[in-house]
Chains A and B, each alone.
Chain A
């Protein structure tokens, strides 16, 4: 199984977050976000988490003054893909000139998320032209999600597009690692083959504490694999915050 690369001292999973609990499926998918994402300019997104930081600053979860209730759930409409979705399909190479750490370009990357999926197999597109975020905030995938390149643009594009969590049967190593390091998308693994159980458009709730995925549209519930090794890293806020907690690197220079 695709295991994470970070040591596990405990398995408590909590993600500090700003939550706006309006669960209307039609509303902005950006309600529950991992705070490490670069917040959108408020003019762009009407229901957004408190943008505590300027786009150029770093992982907010690391900051001591970042007060937020830990999120324990994700809710939204899901988009379903199959096996071996590689990074070229997630974000085609021609868009890699966009630099993720540049806020304007980060936003643009979001507009191209999953644009590489072939139209024949995926007639319902993840994004419709001109959008910067998708109405789908949960991605459900089969095996080996994110295979191919090491490009961090892949989880970044998904995160920028508003994906909060990916639930895959298994992950390719580098993509999984990048997801954890950046905090852009929460990478979860399913026990069953959810890409065959769920359909694009289904309304989903993920309860992290119970490792449960609820499909409101079909009425079925599914067990997810415990987050395991990555738990402490995600909880800390990515590799930098984790390293600071462990005393590996000094507190962040302001």
Chain B
């Protein structure tokens, strides 16, 4: 019987200091699976890695089940199989399919080609169509793509289409939401135990709700549109145990940058990343979303966080559909386990041009910057803006560089303009931002996270240095090919705006 994968107390902890910690020994199995990351092992601070348990001999009675991880269980239930192991390919029933203005039209095109011009989607209530990428632009094709979505939704009588017609005033569009991954959560489409697929790499964000969520392409989406199913391969799971009280200068963004820096941009390729531990349990839903959001930046297939009271509380007023959470068995088998003592971590950045190019923020204090961008599914949620406001409030000074704020959704935008910031005597984020000299919060959308059409607000059209709360910093990501993007938490981004250099937020928070 496979023994539990939870590491014993003899596991060592990750230590930030480069002169500590040697490599733990790898079992042949581990090295096979981790071989993807090896060449590009960015950091030598290796973590403790527990060797996977040896293969369990199948029981002859067939009635004893092997323990499964959360991801294995979710896929097993969704494929109506009692038992699944990593590597198996199964047809999975999809609970929610999401698409947006960039990939929707292509997916619809394939759906119609393959199933017929008059075909109907498998379930008009399980498709959620969210225009969010190229919205506030004069680019005709971008505008046309939203029209294509509308035509399809009308034709198919799609229940959830967050439409926008008046591009000049986002508030005039009652249905419009904004960034798809944040909207999915806010509108109650994320539920524990379910399978959510989306035509966007950051669909993994929804794993924060204890569900299987991953990104797919147009062709796969076209297939789901017609059948409600997809052939998926069960991924093995990497477990990340984070314990310790979260210091008040750290955010979930720092945690995931730490992890990606540790395992590299291909360290989790084809694998599931499971996040557990007391620190994770202390995180809010939005922070958990940030954590799962960047799973894809490590190559991960999906990320999961076990549902708990925090999850249920968040969902209370958002969904009335029943759901049943699933959890990893005690004797589930994990490929590897990493342990972190969060209290020892410091604010981080990912330097150009890779999300795994990890560095301490304080070690980059001589990097002069030209702008700061706070937005996106990764760092444009309500709590992200509250965090940035906290730093501006603590400083009381004005920013030294243009600071762009792009709330992810209409709800976030409203929160920015209405929620009081703790310790400010009743000021809202927007007031604090205004006093700090930031740009006026913009219309909610994906914005300049991925560059976009040339007239996109805050797009980087010159070779500049930007600190951003977004998720990727490959060459050209925000527009200009020679642009340099430092990925950071909202705390670090705000601190950097105040100094004009990459800055550790402890300069202001302590």
The chain A residues found within 8 Å of chain B, CB to CB, are 1-7, 56-59, 83-84, 86, 88-89, 92-94, 96-102, 105, 116-119, 143-144, 147-153, 170, 172-174, 177-178, 181-182, 229, 238-240, 242-243, 248-249, 252-253
Contacts and interface: CB of A to CB of B under 8 A. Distances in A.
A141 to B, nearest CB: 13
Interface string B92-123: 00000000001101101110011110010000
A56 B114 CA distance: 10
B219 A181 contact: yes
B270 A143 contact: no
Contact of B219 (A102, A172, A239): A239
B266 interface: yes
Contact of B220 (A7, A177, A252): A177
Given A143-B40, A174-B217, A4 B233 contact: yes
Contacts of A1: 35-36
A240 B227 CA distance: 11
Nearest to A242: B231
14 contacts: A5-B231, A7-B88, A86-B472, A86-B474, A97-B134, A98-B141, A102-B109, A116-B475, A149-B450, A150-B216, A174-B217, A181-B219, A240-B223, A243-B231
Given A149-B200, A181-B220, A243-B223, 20 more contacts: A3-B270, A5-B232, A86-B474, A88-B450, A88-B475, A96-B102, A98-B141, A117-B475, A118-B476, A143-B36, A144-B40, A150-B199, A150-B200, A170-B266, A177-B217, A181-B223, A182-B217, A229-B233, A248-B229, A253-B116
Contacts of A173: 269-270, 299, 301
Given A147-B266, A152-B106, A249 B474 contact: no
Contact of A118 (B103, B106, B200, B481): B481
- Most chain A beta-carbon contacts within 10 A, residue among B108, B201, B232: B201
Contacts, number: 186
A88 B88 CA distance: 31
Contact of A99 (B145, B354, B451, B477): B145
Given A2-B270, A5-B233, A97 B218 contact: no
A88 B474 contact: yes
A89 B141 CA distance: 21
Given A58-B114, A88-B450, A173-B270, A6 B89 contact: yes
CB-CB nearest 6 A-B residue pairs: A101-B109, A152-B217, A253-B116, A150-B215, A97-B141, A178-B217
B453 interface: yes
A240 B103 contact: no
Interface string B197-217: 011110100000000000111
Contact of A144 (B88, B226, B265): B265
A152 B198 CA distance: 12
A144 B114 contact: no
A115 B485 CA distance: 19
Contacts of A153: 106
A164 to B, nearest CB: 18
B266 A144 contact: yes
Nearest to A179: B217
B220 A58 contact: no
A148 B476 CA distance: 13
Interface in B292-344: 296, 299, 301
A253 B119 CA distance: 9
Interface of B: 35-36, 39-40, 87-89, 91, 102-103, 105-106, 108-110, 113-116, 119, 133-134, 139, 141-142, 144-145, 148, 198-201, 203, 215-220, 222-223, 226-227, 229, 231-233, 265-266, 269-270, 296, 299, 301, 354, 450-454, 472, 474-477, 479, 481-482
A3 B270 CA distance: 8
Contacts of A144: 36, 40, 265-266, 269, 299
Nearest to A184: B219
Contact of B299 (A58, A83, A172): A172
B451 A94 contact: yes
A5 B269 CA distance: 13
Contact of A174 (B91, B109, B216, B265): B216
Nearest to A249: B227
Contacts of A97: 102, 134, 139, 141-142, 144-145, 453
B476 A89 contact: yes
A59 B109 CA distance: 13
A100 B106 contact: yes
Nearest to A3: B270
A57 B113 contact: yes
Given A2-B269, A88-B476, A99-B145, A150 B217 contact: yes
A46 B79 CA distance: 48
A83 B42 CA distance: 13
B307 to A, nearest CB: 25
A5 B475 CA distance: 29
Given A144-B269, A151-B217, A118 B475 contact: yes
Nearest to B450: A93
A93 B481 contact: no
A174 B451 contact: no
Contacts of B145: 97, 99
B201 A150 contact: yes
Contact of B113 (A83, A101, A174): A101
B220 A239 contact: yes
A1 B109 CA distance: 32
Contacts of A177: 216-217, 220
B389 to A, nearest CB: 29
Contacts of B102: 96-97, 151
A83 to B, nearest CB: 7
